[in-house]
Structure 1
Amino acid sequence: MQDNIQLPEKLIKAFPTRDLQLTPLKGDGGIIRLIFLVLVLIGLTVFVAFQLPGIAYDYKIGQNAVPVNANINGSCRSSLMVITHCNVKVTYRGHTVSHSFGFLGTSRNVAVQPIADANDLSRLTVDVAVENVMLRFVTTIIIIALLIFSLVFIIYRYIANNKIRKVLLSSGKMPLKLIAVPAKVVNSNRLLMVSYKLNLDGKKISTSYSGNKKTSPIVFEENGKKYALAVCEPQKNIPYILDLSLKRIQATPEEVQHFHLALQEEGLI
């Protein structure tokens, strides 16, 4: 579990030796955050899926398209360096069609020509939409697949993390052992997140913890590898990431101050 990392003796002695109670924090995730993320991903999936009818519309016109002398209002603009988004309004013989679509492309100036379905001249679009219809379809399907995968992955991670928390938080108060676990560290948007692996019921499970400035995990680097400080029950040996304020173990202010002093002396904070 510790990957042969020996923590400094001073750090181990500074850690509380009394019975400690594990407690979850916001960084452990929760049902409210899960619901929020699920709703956001579902909303994005539905939004992207709504592009499919427009793609089908352009595809059908492209099967029997003819150029028409129609009026076009609108523009095509590139954003994020690789995406071109067009908003156009095509008017021909009293029929007006508003069309909004996007495709992968980097052209700053996109010239568009109006076209119509030869069998129904009221069905209008522009040539750029038809020329890129397969690219738009493939891109849309890939994005939908990625969103669905993300949705399933988030739910799976929540279930796995919830199972881990139940095991860890069901033990009550007892002395805890200070350890270091190999971790991947991501620093983003004022949050520090660590992901690590543990063994539960004979299975290796990946989990993570994230915290802000006050509740961030304690990480350090040794021999080119990054580690996070954690605690575990000697019997179960399941790591529980330690936060900087030691709120996850309900430490007293005196214990926090004493441990922080040892961390400073070891150059870990």
Structure 2
Amino acid sequence: MPDVQTPQQQKITIRLPDGSERTHPTGATGYDVAEDIGAGLARDALAVKVNGEVRDLQRPIEEDADLEVLTWDDAEGKMVFWHSSAHLLAEALEALYGDVKFGVGPPIEDGFYYDVDFSDAGRDAPSSEDDLAEIEEKMQELAARDVPYEREPVSKDEAMQYFTEKGAPYKQELIEELEDGTITFYRQGEFTDLCRGPHLPSTGAITYPKLLSTAGAYWRGDEDRAQLTRIYGVSFPKKKLLDEHLEMLEKARERDHRKLGRELELFTFSETVGAGLPMWLPKGTTLRETLEGFLQQEQLERGYEP
């Protein structure tokens, strides 16, 4: 009789971006594949893309697949890094502020944010640089524990029960809109969040978080809903990368037209009139009228009717 492979013996074929193929046992993880390719890649790996879907490194692969290992050099790798950083921010806020209620905390093009309701917290919402520095310090403390991000599929009833008991109305609203069988939690240590993922293998990679600012944000962008505090941040695996990013932000601030307009006495802004409406000062008015006159003269000379 022919040998019959048990599930543990069955193999899957992994196709890599360069066209090469590797064979692994069914249930091998993205990390297993990265390690098979090379120790350096395994060390730098943040997540994997399996048949076009970005996944956790530790998630088992059950069938033949096209696979790409994602690192910091990949845009999708950065998204995973910043998504996990948003969860770390939430854990730090819960540790420092007590009864906070979380909205959403996605990665964005240049970092991450989390929308948070501090109305029942034990202290005022963070607003100052000192507040943000305190939260950063807590994030670094939590990251240093190097605990894993663990994915857990849950039923809709289980998810609703958990966040109802926790008193998390924004999460409950999100769960109401999800289909049963598609819901996952992610845990790091004692902190649990509703999330599709994917996430880093552990918190230890987030060595250099930086919180940049806070702003008001209506829940789900609806001005008739609760106003939450949005905390913006960015994070990096190396200090050099953080320093370069902060230098870039500083140069951008120096070139900000609002700053230059005030310094050159061209225009100013007023909260009374509206923060987005510039008010021309005498120098600015002269400059604008000169430019308008030049353009009108050029148009006339080229046959355009005024």
Q: If the TM-score is normalised by the length of the shorter chain, which range does it land in? A: under 0.3
Question: Which has the larger strand fraction?
Answer: 1
TM-score (structure 2 length as normaliser): 0.22
TM-score (structure 1 length as normaliser): 0.24
Larger Rg: 1
Higher relative CO (Cα under 8 Å, sequence separation at least 6) belongs to 1
